[in-house]
């Protein structure tokens, strides 16, 4: 009898529960708002479909360490974590009569899903071509272009493997990618969850209120309600960082505009490819302002600045998210596998995200995340 392949099994992933997780406390007025300045047609930027994806896979460490229990307690721990960063539970709004679109922290919540897949974690890790499976381990629904205010901007999917291992898949709108990458949110959330599990461990076995595991065959959520727009198109993600002592940590003045261009040139040199010519650009101008647009690498210098004012390539250093493997949701159980990529409806998109974050002692860090199709 032929043994089903990992790719075949991945198509049998089943969503077992879907719920909404709001912040634990109501966000105080005035609610945080992130304005979105768009240089092109809003729909033409592809901003409704672009998202950051992360997958963390864990082997079962104890009897209590299961994906079902982790997901059950996520409702509480994630709610607490979002109280300090309510923008993650917000929604994208487009004014009816002109005005600038924005993400508003309205406490609508993130979407939390539980799933199971008929394979072991080892089967997944041993599979050479993981792209099809990884796309199933995270859930994403494109923001509705007509009524975006009803679309979640963050999804969390906990997938249970047959061996007892599980994965935590996170997808978020590209408009919020910097909050996951630069705010240390994942570590804060994991610490909150670990402390919660310690408190529970001191008592007798406690089943979370939102516990959907059933020893019998669970009811499957209808496909029409859980049709994911997730995709993984074989793109590569490369990250550069630049730390400087400047009064202005943003991207409004030189040399920060030039750094965006130099990040592209450095990626071309390292990867031995030519990027472009059209590049989608997302710039975090400040904590409450994003700039969205596109430019022709060799023609349009309005956004990235002049190429003739100096070479800043040497100021950029390679960076990775290696510390993601240190995120432990249960005791000291570290992730056995970590993956991250930028998702886009169009597989040939080159995407550059420029992020600014303040640091201590007057130092300011700039991060440049490039998603490049193979």
pLDDT at residue 219, as a whole number: 61
How far is the C-alpha of 188 from the C-alpha of 335, rounded, in Å? 16
Q: Are residues 192 and 50 in the same domain?
A: yes
What are the residues whose beta carbons fall under 8 Å from the beta carbon of 364, sequence distance 6 or more?
243, 244, 245, 246, 249, 356, 357, 358
pLDDT at residue 221, as a whole number: 67
Q: Are residues 259 and 170 in the same domain?
A: no
pLDDT at residue 34, as a whole number: 92
Length of the chain: 374
Within 10 angstroms of residue 147's Cβ, the number of other Cβ atoms is: 9
How far is the C-alpha of 339 from the C-alpha of 334, rounded, in Å? 14
Q: Are residues 41 and 68 in the same domain?
A: yes
Q: Are residues 63 and 210 in the same domain?
A: yes
Short-list 340, 307, 302, CA closest to 322: 340
| Strand 33-38 with 236-245, pairing | unpaired
Q: Are residues 269 and 339 in the same domain?
A: no
Q: Are residues 200 and 62 in the same domain?
A: yes
Q: What is the pLDDT along the chain (374 residues), one digit of tens a residue?
A: 445 565 655 568 888 889 999 998 999 889 999 999 887 677 677 888 889 999 999 988 777 667 778 888 888 899 999 998 999 999 999 887 767 899 999 999 999 999 999 999 999 999 987 888 999 999 999 999 888 999 999 999 999 999 889 999 999 999 998 887 766 888 899 999 888 888 776 555 666 666 666 555 556 666 656 678 877 766 788 888 876 655 554 555 444 567 777 888 888 888 888 887 778 888 887 788 888 877 776 654 434 433 434 455 567 888 877 667 688 887 778 889 998 888 877 666 788 888 876 555 566 677 888 888 77
Annotate 285-343 with DSSP letters as a single string: EETTEEEEEEEETTT--TTT--TTS---GGG-EEE--GGGGG--SSTT---SEEEEEEE
Strand segments, DSSP code E, in 208-277 are 236-245
Q: Is 217 helix (H, G, I), strand (E, B) or coil?
A: coil
- Does residue 1 lie in a domain region? no
Segments forming the whole domain that contains residue 58? 6-232+324-343
Q: Are residues 201 and 306 in the same domain?
A: no
């Amino acid at each position: 009898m032929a043994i089903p392949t990992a790719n075949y099994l991945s198509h049998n992933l089943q969503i077992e529960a879907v719920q909404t997780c709001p912040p634990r406390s109501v966000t105080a007025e005035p609610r945080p708002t992130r304005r979105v300045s768009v240089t092109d047609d809003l729909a033409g930027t592809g901003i409704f479909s672009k998202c950051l994806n992360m997958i963390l896979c864990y082997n079962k460490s104890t009897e209590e360490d299961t994906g079902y229990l982790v997901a059950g307690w996520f409702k509480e721990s994630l709610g607490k974590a979002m109280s300090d960063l309510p923008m993650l539970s917000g929604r994208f709004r487009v004014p009816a009569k002109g005005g600038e679109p924005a993400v508003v922290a309205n406490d609508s919540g993130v979407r939390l899903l539980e799933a199971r897949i008929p394979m072991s974690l080892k089967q997944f890790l041993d599979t050479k071509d993981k792209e099809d499976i990884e796309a199933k381990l995270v859930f994403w629904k494109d923001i509705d272009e007509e009524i975006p205010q009803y679309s979640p901007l963050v999804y969390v999917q906990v997938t249970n493997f047959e061996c007892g291992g599980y994965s935590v898949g996170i997808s978020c709108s590209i408009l919020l990618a910097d909050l996951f990458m630069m705010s240390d949110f994942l570590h804060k959330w994991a610490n909150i969850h670990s402390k919660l599990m310690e408190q529970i461990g001191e008592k007798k076995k406690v089943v979370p209120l939102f516990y959907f595991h059933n020893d019998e065959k669970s009811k499957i959520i209808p496909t029409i309600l859980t049709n994911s727009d997730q995709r993984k198109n074989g793109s590569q993600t490369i990250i550069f960082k630049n730390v400087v002592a400047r009064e202005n940590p943003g991207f409004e003045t030189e040399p920060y505009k030039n750094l965006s261009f130099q990040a592209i040139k450095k990626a071309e040199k390292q990867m031995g490819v030519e990027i472009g010519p059209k590049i989608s650009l997302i710039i975090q101008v400040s904590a409450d302002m994003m700039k969205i647009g596109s430019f022709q690498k060799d023609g349009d210098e309005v956004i990235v600045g002049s190429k003739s004012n100096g070479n800043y390539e040497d100021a950029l250093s390679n960076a990775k998210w290696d510390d993601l493997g240190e995120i432990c949701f249960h005791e000291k159980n570290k992730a056995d596998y970590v993956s991250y990529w930028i998702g886009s409806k169009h597989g040939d998109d080159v995407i550059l995200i420029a992020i600014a974050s303040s640091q201590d002692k007057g130092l300011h860090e700039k991060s440049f995340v490039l998603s490049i199709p193979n």
